[in-house]
A and B are shown apart, each in its own frame.
Chain A
Amino acid sequence: MSPAASPGTSPATGPATGKEPVAVVGIGQTKHVAARRDVSIAGLVREAARRALDDAELTWADIDAVVIGKAPDFFEGVMMPELYLADALGAVGKPMLRVHTAGSVGGSTALVATNLIAGRVHGTVLTLAYEKQSESNAMWGLSLPIPFQQPLLAGAGGFFAPHVRAYMRRTGAPDTVGSLVAYKDRRNALKNPYAHLHEHDITLEKVQASPMLWDPIRYSETCPSSDGACAMVLTDRAGAARSPRPAAWMHGGAMRSEPTLFAGKDFVSPQAGKDCAADVYRQAGIADPRRDIDAVEMYVPFSWYEPMWLENLGFADEGEGWKLTESGVTELDGDLPVNMSGGVLSTNPIGASGMIRFAEAALQVRGQAGEHQVDGARRVLGHAYGGGSQFFSMWLVGAAPPTS
């Protein structure tokens, strides 16, 4: 490591006051597909990492540490795969951390990496999340029976469908809202070259005519199983100054957890999600998220979670989220675009899905989102959740550096 790689820890900068600002200067992802039979797990992650480094115009030698995340090891059948992946990610001789917070892991992984910079432990960090679902079967990986514990009942859909039903009953939302979300996200995905599902002939009628899987969730309202990886290069203020392309600056980031199952839990709008968003908004100085935030990449594995999270994240009052969706506010050209990339509904390498949300938020404020760019996106929220709506991680990134 050269001293220049970690200016935050060099004695020349003197005593630190407050957190070091954190910038995203490199983003890379793979073209997400159902099965990447042409590469190993190592080949998959290296492809995304290489693209992130190229975007930042940095080399492996510029990276001080690697923070990697993925969802359960059982999805590929490799225990603690960071050990095997150390070589592929240029981590030999460096610190390497492996985060695992269920479906929120992609977001949490990025946040753990930001702490290394914000706490001035390192100057430039590579963070990456992946899933290669074709190596196994995630549905049954989630359904291993354990005595005395609630099984997930044939994958995630069986667990989440009753909570969607509860949302519909509570808010009186018409049963057409879910299909609107799926139709929107799948159309957005057509503008994202990395998205898994490119359904060129998608129509609203096709979504509505798709088979019912877990009532009220239809086949076309569920996420696919994807192979894919997403990587980001995070750096400090000095690193950002050297960046060849615009940086995305982190203005706030937080994680919150609550128990999976207990009598007082609100599965429709978990308190941990509300608290997590409130913490991020406080850090970022967001008074009114509906007005102050330009776009949102949120974790929507089943279509109905868009209106549910719009309420949970404070973009709509309780019971009103579905009205935003129905009125077109969340369309790509709407007033509050949601899941410009096509979202988890179009691309779901589970462990990477949270980081893709975070990375898409950063792409937007860097003005690098291509065909699915939202004009003038200055502040964008990235959101992830996991477990039985138990774990939440979010960050808000901006085009300008934080002022405090």
Chain B
Amino acid sequence: MPAPRSAPRPLRDIAVVAFAQTDHRRTSDELSEVEMLMPVLHQVLAQTGLRTSDIGFTCSGSTDYLAGRAFSFTMALDGVGAWPPISESHVEMDGAWALYEAWTKLLTGDADTALVYAYGKSSPGSVRDVLTRQLDPYYVAPLWPDSVALAALQAQALIDAGDTDEPALAAVATRSRAAATDNSHAQLRGSVPHGEYAVRPLRTGDCPPIGDGAAAVILAAGERARELCERPAWIRGIDHRIEAHGLGVRDLTDSPSARLAAERAGAFERPVDTAELHAPFSSQEVVLRKALRLGDDVDVNPSGGALAAHPIMAAGLIRIGEAAARIGRGDSDRALAHATSGPCLQQNLVAVLEGDPR
């Protein structure tokens, strides 16, 4: 990893001013993707009083592979109400990266507001099989190593290194789902059995629920943010980094890309009080806590995190939304939000959000 310079100061102040999400559920057979998404879009617009035609830029995140068809996002766009035509883009990534693209667009001054949305329906297929298609198509994907097995490799590496043990992982899962008791959108809440081994050393309780869901966020720049929101969550810094794909060339007990992204986002300049981590597996929280230097005094995943609800492609954006909502409610003054992509935390995004001083 190259040595980072100090985090650049953004040219404009940009904030999250609204956030909405679905109730995440194991299945949503009766809903199309557009039908799942539309209530969320309406909610997030209603929070600000904006209409689609008021939005300067729209960006979404999703993957064709969950829908099982090419260009699946083109139909979702119909739900946005893209008429008259809108300035719009799409990343085939978690919605957190769509938010990053929207943030850069606002930085250029070409737009003052942005609508960001993401969605994923995991229920129609086998997520463990589908995610194997992310792997090197010539040497690794033909072996079909599934996402839980790869996470278990990482968990075992952590245990072997003395960084954690099975009871500690169970405690992460218990804490997350207890926190989700207060989150009406979460899929797994309260006392959830830790279960049998899925792939040793991970038990079903260490793994995320498979579910469908969507989320949306509105960004606004400068004074526009103050007009739209009582307590905007200012994005003080946001950065993302990727690591090598091959698991054999990575230290699975560490996350240098998360650390670098956090450094570039300015996360280490002052302590945060809250962290929303996109850690689908309990063991990944262990890695991220260390890389992001989160002490016991930081409230980690007060929403319940990805162990309580994990709509693929939206789960990272939800972390940013949850952190922003917490700032908006006055429960946090400075929060870190994190999103991940790829096997064993290959790619990581970190955003630092702050409320105005009280």
Q: List chain A residues, Cβ under 8 A from B2.
A: 1, 61, 93-94
Which residues of B, 4-18, contact A by the 8 Å Cβ criterion? 4-5, 8, 11
Known: A80-B134, A84-B135, A94-B241. A1 touches B5 (CB 8 A): yes
Residue of A nearest to B97 (CB): A97
In the assembled complex, B130 has its CB within 8 A of some CB on chain A: yes
Known: A93-B241, A116-B104, A141-B70. A86 touches B92 (CB 8 A): no
Q: List chain A residues, Cβ under 8 A from B85.
A: 256-258, 270-272, 275-276
Contact across chains for B88 and A256 when beta carbons are under 8 A apart: yes
Partner of A119, one of B104, B136, B244: B104
Residue of B nearest to A265 (CB): B83
Q: List chain A residues, Cβ under 8 A from B346.
A: 83, 86
Residue of B nearest to A259 (CB): B78
In the assembled complex, A99 has its CB within 8 A of some CB on chain B: yes
Contact across chains for B242 and A91 when beta carbons are under 8 A apart: yes
In the assembled complex, A77 has its CB within 8 A of some CB on chain B: yes
Known: A84-B134, A115-B107, A146-B69. A120 touches B11 (CB 8 A): yes
Query: How many angstroms between the C-alpha atoms of A260 and B136 in the bound complex?
Result: 33
In the assembled complex, B357 has its CB within 8 A of some CB on chain A: no
Q: List chain A residues, Cβ under 8 A from B105.
A: 115, 119
Q: List chain A residues, Cβ under 8 A from B343.
A: 83
Chain B 116-140 interface mask (CB, 8 Å, partner A; 1/0): 0000000000000011011111100
In the assembled complex, A9 has its CB within 8 A of some CB on chain B: yes
Residue of A nearest to B6 (CB): A11
Tell me how far the C-beta of A284 lies from the nearest C-beta in chain B, rounded to whole angstroms: 14
Q: List chain B residues, Cβ under 8 A from A163.
A: none
Residue of A nearest to B78 (CB): A259
Tell me how far the C-beta of A91 lies from the nearest C-beta in chain B, rounded to whole angstroms: 5
Q: List chain B residues, Cβ under 8 A from A76.
A: 137
Q: List chain B residues, Cβ under 8 A from A86.
A: 242-245, 346-347
Contact across chains for A3 and B241 when beta carbons are under 8 A apart: no
Query: How many angstroms between the C-alpha atoms of A86 and B87 in the bound complex?
Result: 28
Q: List chain A residues, Cβ under 8 A from B241.
A: 93-95
In the assembled complex, B295 has its CB within 8 A of some CB on chain A: no
Tell me how far the C-beta of A140 lies from the nearest C-beta in chain B, rounded to whole angstroms: 10
Range class of the B interface residue count: 35 or more
Query: How many angstroms between the C-alpha atoms of A115 and B346 in the bound complex?
Result: 25
Query: How many angstroms between the C-alpha atoms of A261 and B75 in the bound complex?
Result: 9
Partner of A257, one of B68, B77, B107: B77
Tell me how far the C-beta of A25 lies from the nearest C-beta in chain B, rounded to whole angstroms: 20
Residue of A nearest to B77 (CB): A257
Q: List chain A residues, Cβ under 8 A from B87.
A: 254-257, 279
Partner of B90, one of A96, A101, A272: A101
In the assembled complex, B332 has its CB within 8 A of some CB on chain A: no
Q: List chain A residues, Cβ under 8 A from B64.
A: 72-74, 79, 100
Contact across chains for B70 and A74 when beta carbons are under 8 A apart: yes
Contact across chains for A80 and B74 when beta carbons are under 8 A apart: no
Partner of B88, one of A78, A79, A97, A255: A255
Which residues of B, 340-358, contact A by the 8 Å Cβ criterion? 341-343, 346-347
Tell me how far the C-beta of B57 lies from the nearest C-beta in chain A, rounded to whole angstroms: 9
Tell me how far the C-beta of B224 lies from the nearest C-beta in chain A, rounded to whole angstroms: 17
Tell me how far the C-beta of A9 lies from the nearest C-beta in chain B, rounded to whole angstroms: 4
In the assembled complex, B318 has its CB within 8 A of some CB on chain A: no
Known: A86-B245, A112-B101, A120-B11. A142 touches B70 (CB 8 A): yes
In the assembled complex, B246 has its CB within 8 A of some CB on chain A: yes
In the assembled complex, A390 has its CB within 8 A of some CB on chain B: yes
Tell me how far the C-beta of B228 lies from the nearest C-beta in chain A, rounded to whole angstroms: 21
In the assembled complex, A245 has its CB within 8 A of some CB on chain B: no
Q: List chain A residues, Cβ under 8 A from B134.
A: 78-80, 83-84
Which residues of B, 203-240, contact A by the 8 Å Cβ criterion? 239-240
Query: How many angstroms between the C-alpha atoms of A40 and B346 in the bound complex?
Result: 21
Contact across chains for B104 and A115 when beta carbons are under 8 A apart: yes
Which residues of A, 118-164, contact B by the 8 Å Cβ criterion? 118-121, 135, 141-142, 144, 146, 148-149
In the assembled complex, A371 has its CB within 8 A of some CB on chain B: no
Contact across chains for A257 and B82 when beta carbons are under 8 A apart: yes
In the assembled complex, A303 has its CB within 8 A of some CB on chain B: no
Contact across chains for B8 and A9 when beta carbons are under 8 A apart: yes
In the assembled complex, A108 has its CB within 8 A of some CB on chain B: yes
Q: List chain B residues, Cβ under 8 A from A75.
A: 70
Q: List chain B residues, Cβ under 8 A from A144.
A: 68-70
Contact across chains for B83 and A258 when beta carbons are under 8 A apart: yes
In the assembled complex, B32 has its CB within 8 A of some CB on chain A: yes
In the assembled complex, A314 has its CB within 8 A of some CB on chain B: no
In the assembled complex, B283 has its CB within 8 A of some CB on chain A: no
Q: List chain A residues, Cβ under 8 A from B193.
A: none
Tell me how far the C-beta of A141 lies from the nearest C-beta in chain B, rounded to whole angstroms: 5
Partner of A260, one of B5, B74, B130: B74
Contact across chains for B243 and A260 when beta carbons are under 8 A apart: no
Most buried by A among B65, B92, B100: B92
Tell me how far the C-beta of B136 lies from the nearest C-beta in chain A, rounded to whole angstroms: 5
Query: How many angstroms between the C-alpha atoms of A181 and B63 in the bound complex?
Result: 36
Which residues of B, 68-102, contact A by the 8 Å Cβ criterion? 68-71, 73-75, 77-78, 82-93, 97, 100-101
What would be 29 A-B contacts, judged by CB atoms less than 8 Å apart? Answer: A1-B2, A6-B5, A72-B71, A76-B137, A79-B64, A79-B130, A80-B92, A82-B92, A86-B242, A86-B244, A87-B244, A93-B243, A96-B242, A98-B92, A98-B93, A98-B97, A99-B92, A99-B101, A100-B64, A100-B91, A100-B92, A115-B101, A119-B104, A146-B67, A149-B75, A256-B88, A257-B87, A258-B86, A259-B77
* Leading 4 A-B pairs by shortest Cβ distance: A119-B107, A72-B70, A272-B85, A9-B8
